[in-house]
Amino acid sequence: MLTNKVFLKKTKKGSILKIVREHYLRDDISCGSSVCELCQHDDKGPVLEEKLTNLSQKVDQSHYIIPDTNVVLHQIDVLEDLSIQNVIILQTVIEEVRHRSAPAYKRLKDILTNPTKHFYNFANEFNKETYVEREPGEKSNDRNDRAIREAAYWYQQHLKKLESEIDIVLLTNDADNRTKAKEKGLTSFTIHEYVKGLKDNGTLLDKLAHVGTGLVHEKDKVQFPEHLPLNEILRGIKSGKYLQGSFIASRENYLEANVSVKSEDRWIFIQGHMNLNRAVNDDTVAIEMLPEEEWSCPSSLMLEETEEKTDDADIEAEDAKLKQNKVPKDLRQPTGRVVGIIKRNWRQYCGILQQSAIKEATRHLFLPAEKRIPKIRIETRQAKDLSTQRIVVAIDSWPRNSRYPHGHFVRKLGNVGDKDTENEVLLLEHDVPHSNFSEAVLNFLPKMPWTITDEDMKHRTDLRHITVCSVDPPGCTDIDDALHCRPLANGNLEVGVHIADVSHFIRPGNALDKEASNRGTTVYLVDKRIDMVPELLSSNLCSLRCDVDRFAFTVIWEMTHEAEIVNTKFMKSVIESRASLTYGEAQMIIDDPTRNDDIATSLRGLNKLAKILKQKRIDKGALTLASPEIRFNIDSETHDPIDVQAKQLLDTNSMVEEFMLLANISTAQKIHEEFPNCAVLRRHPSPPPSNFDPLIKAALSKGFTMNVSTGKDLADSLNSAVIENDKYFNTMLRIMTTRCMMQAVYFCSGMIPEAEYLHYGLASEIYTHFTSPIRRYSDILVHRLLAVCIGADASYPELLDKHKTQLVCNNLNYRHKMAQYAGRSSVNLHTHLFFKKRVVDEDGYILFVRKNAVQVLIPKYGLEATLYLNTDQRKKGPLFVFNEEENTQTCGGISLHVFDRVIIQISIDRSNVQHLKLQIKLVQPQIPEFSVAPTEDDKSTDDEPPTKKQKLDI
């Protein structure tokens, strides 16, 4: 049977379209129940079981559940619980969920595909019996509710016809819907009633979201301004009264945030509870500009919300306190306030439960691991159990009268302090896809044992006779690159860089490719690696290990002894590496005069050329920047860090780096020449001059003038800024310079003008990533482009579509950034673990001076920590006075400047057992009533936290 779906649509241009879709109704749609003999089930058989287990005390019969849209949207966590089974999800519900929340839709789809859950998707909109037409005067929501009731009724009658004992339970929190359902003779409850009636409901009750239900007390007064309705917001945005942007909360101060305005590419500052108005990090919000006299600027306060404040704690008073600080005119930034939320971007948050004063209380506060997220109020009956756990919580709502958003418990991850749990937390928090590779992905792996066929050899050059070796950090199993260098008959040198040919194994468009493209990069944590491609490829077939034949993508240059390139050749090849060396081993071979074999001469040749290349690059204005990199020595049994040290740099590190840079630049030139519109390149924009202000100011305090007008000037200024007796000063400056830089990003060459291709840090006009295809997806794309250039591989449409390529690049940039953050968090985590058993005095340098704190860099551990000055606990003694002009903090006659060397004591703050924080105290210079006495050497504290069972012998 045919019917039409008619609806009107207003286009962006303002014209109105009438859209008609043909809608065919069928009479052969299966009910999906095992009881049923009338319906024809599909090949996989009926989904819903005949014998049912989830009996609720609410219903005495066994039953199937039909939830309505709102139940699915808000209570997806409950539905995901394993105990909820045999649920019928109507098509009406799926479609509404898809419209309203993409994440909920995805999760619903996942449940539906899980065979153990027995969730059945019933296509009621296509069933002749259950299709309902919208009636005149009926709202679309009412029509959908009616469709749901109609389908539930059909099921009830259908099961009755089968003389089955099974009933249908309609779950809806809409009272009106329930009444109407009961009039029809249906059994209907709210989800809350239903879950409470379940026999074993312990954790399920906690997972219930309370949306607009009685969690709010009347005595709570309304504190926040109301959000504007969406249509008013959209109108305001159109007329320019409001601005739309994404809300980025500050990490440092919970009362501050920035909104990046979509249309204008600028940042609007927001300050204070009232102005933030319940926006959560990542939300898309509408803001209104404040009048100029109310503009403000970020206070240099580092503000952390520590104490639990009750809901009635007056947020207005807190805001008023902020206002007292008059902001001088020249510092003012454009400031606005949030008037409405366009789209919430709430996800699930990891964190811990904040210990409540009352033991038996069910309402608790949840402390998210991410500092930008506010605390979340949740209701749980298992607080005692959860107090030592990392848990995941979702936000449900943020009513006007509540200081904190309301949420519900989703699941627990494991014990606090447990390394696996903590790793899981940081992967989740950084949105790193870390599940195991699916069957579909693994199916695209080559079958083992893998051999090279004649077919493979057709397009490849056999380079197995050349002495090639790889140089990598110790313990590296995914070897991307190998090198060789040999003299040519004409006196020149031949240098080859061989990169693992990953694109041979990952063919465009298949599941393996999609997964790799989504992951974007391999993520390195201190003790774990989350691979971008399955291990068979990353550590075996692609990895250029020694003494096996491997496919490679090779760049061969002919160079003079002055490192001038005579010509460049690209080819797909087969190589056999003679040795997999570590940086240390390679260095030893170079330095060992007794060795004169092929490997040694090759390495020495490379080393010599690399030094010339580096000098050339520096002369061009490439920056040598510093960021403290550290490595942990990890106990082999407990996997706890036992020592931390800064990474050492050898000549060979820079040797490999030089040739990789060269290969990348050569490739970038080649692919850009062939594909000016769709080459994947990497650029590093030159930072706006204002970014350098803190650096210039800091250097000036030591009497150095920094010239930042070009990269070359900056490099020269950095080189000349040396203090004889303070050898760390220069490194500090370089670290500060790093902070001034912009992020380097991938992009598609057709999307921006050629003048912007510049890579500032490397002082190269063009750059890309070619050399690490095992761990970066961008390199795979570059490989494919290059393969097409040299005719070694076929092209495909997506490769040449600049918009699609740009989309991929955007994802890569995001993943890349997140991977960096995750890596840093992992280092932090291990630093915490390391200091858990120690109190150490260490040298530090002041990096920044803030209004209420100084940030100290501890070079030995590559650690940056905040030393709070005028804390509340500090009752006695003179207070620090902040001098904004000179950027100093003075107390008791002693001033703290930027770059000052201090001695600090590092320990773990155990005041909150759950939430261990790294804490530093000042040892030297000695400031009365502030500094602490130095610790005796190597004194490790014995009070291990209770969760730790094993003891380490250090």
Q: How far is the CB of 154 from another protein (least distance, A)?
A: 20
- Cβ closer to another protein: 13 or 51? 13
- Cβ closer to another protein: 127 or 607? 127
Q: How far is the CB of 249 from another protein (least distance, A)?
A: 31
- Cβ closer to another protein: 240 or 688? 240
Q: How far is the CB of 96 from another protein (least distance, A)?
A: 14
- Cβ closer to another protein: 21 or 465? 21
Binding site for another protein (CB under 8 A): 1-4, 6-10, 14-16, 18, 20, 134-140, 231, 235, 238-239, 241
- Cβ closer to another protein: 136 or 291? 136
DSSP structural state of residue 756: G
For the purposes of burial, counting CB atoms within 10 Å of the CB of 347, is it exposed (0-12), middle (13-18) or buried (19 or more)?
middle
Q: How far is the CB of 7 from another protein (least distance, A)?
A: 6
Q: How far is the CB of 231 from another protein (least distance, A)?
A: 7
- Cβ closer to another protein: 13 or 329? 13
- Cβ closer to another protein: 15 or 310? 15
Q: How far is the CB of 98 from another protein (least distance, A)?
A: 18
708 and 692 Cβ atoms separated by less than 8 Å: yes
Give the three-class secondary structure for 463.
Answer: coil
- Cβ closer to another protein: 10 or 458? 10
Give the three-class secondary structure for 657.
Answer: helix
For the purposes of burial, counting CB atoms within 10 Å of the CB of 520, is it exposed (0-12), middle (13-18) or buried (19 or more)?
buried
Cβ contacts of 118 within 8 Å, gap of 6 or more? 47, 48, 49, 85, 86, 87
**E strand or H helix at 667:** helix 651-674
- Cβ closer to another protein: 7 or 450? 7
Q: How far is the CB of 176 from another protein (least distance, A)?
A: 19
* Beta-bridge partners for 843: 903
Buried b (16+ CB within 10 A) or exposed e, 749-763: bbeeeeeebbbbbbb
Q: How far is the CB of 12 from another protein (least distance, A)?
A: 13
Terminal CA-to-CA distance of the chain, rounded, Å?
79
Q: Which residue has the tokens 């009070």?
A: 943
How far is it, in rounded angstroms, from Cα 445 to Cα 813?
A: 26
233 and 341 Cβ atoms separated by less than 8 Å: no
- Cβ closer to another protein: 8 or 175? 8
How far is it, in rounded angstroms, from Cα 480 to Cα 478?
A: 6
- Cβ closer to another protein: 135 or 936? 135
Q: How far is the CB of 20 from another protein (least distance, A)?
A: 5
- Cβ closer to another protein: 18 or 44? 18
Q: How far is the CB of 733 from another protein (least distance, A)?
A: 53
433: region left, alpha or beta (phi > 0 left; psi from -120 to 50 alpha): beta
Q: Which residue has the tokens 């605390």?
A: 375
How far is it, in rounded angstroms, from Cα 773 to Cα 789?
A: 18
Nearest to 444 by CA among 490, 496, 394, 507: 507
Quickly list DSSP for 817-864.
Answer: HHHHHHHHHHHHHHHHHHHTT--EEEEEEEEEE-SSEEEEEEGGGTEE
Considering only CA atoms, give the Rg of the chain: 32
- Cβ closer to another protein: 128 or 217? 128
Give the three-class secondary structure for 259.
Answer: strand
Please give the angle made by the CA atoms of 36, 39 and 40, to the nearest 5 degrees. 120
Is cis: bond before 925, omega within 30 of 0? yes
- Cβ closer to another protein: 9 or 727? 9
Please give the angle made by the CA atoms of 26, 31 and 33, to the nearest 5 degrees. 160
Q: How far is the CB of 5 from another protein (least distance, A)?
A: 9
Please give the angle made by the CA atoms of 73, 76 and 78, to the nearest 5 degrees. 135
- Cβ closer to another protein: 10 or 326? 10
Q: How far is the CB of 101 from another protein (least distance, A)?
A: 20
How far is it, in rounded angstroms, from Cα 928 to Cα 894?
A: 10
- Cβ closer to another protein: 145 or 501? 145
Quickly list DSSP for 496-531.
Answer: EEEEE-GGGTS-TTSHHHHHHHHH-B-EEETTEEE-
Separation in Å, CA 700 to CA 733, 895, 923: 11, 17, 27
Residue 709, Cβ neighbours under 10 Å: how many? 11
Q: How far is the CB of 138 from another protein (least distance, A)?
A: 8
Q: How far is the CB of 173 from another protein (least distance, A)?
A: 23
Q: How far is the CB of 774 from another protein (least distance, A)?
A: 52
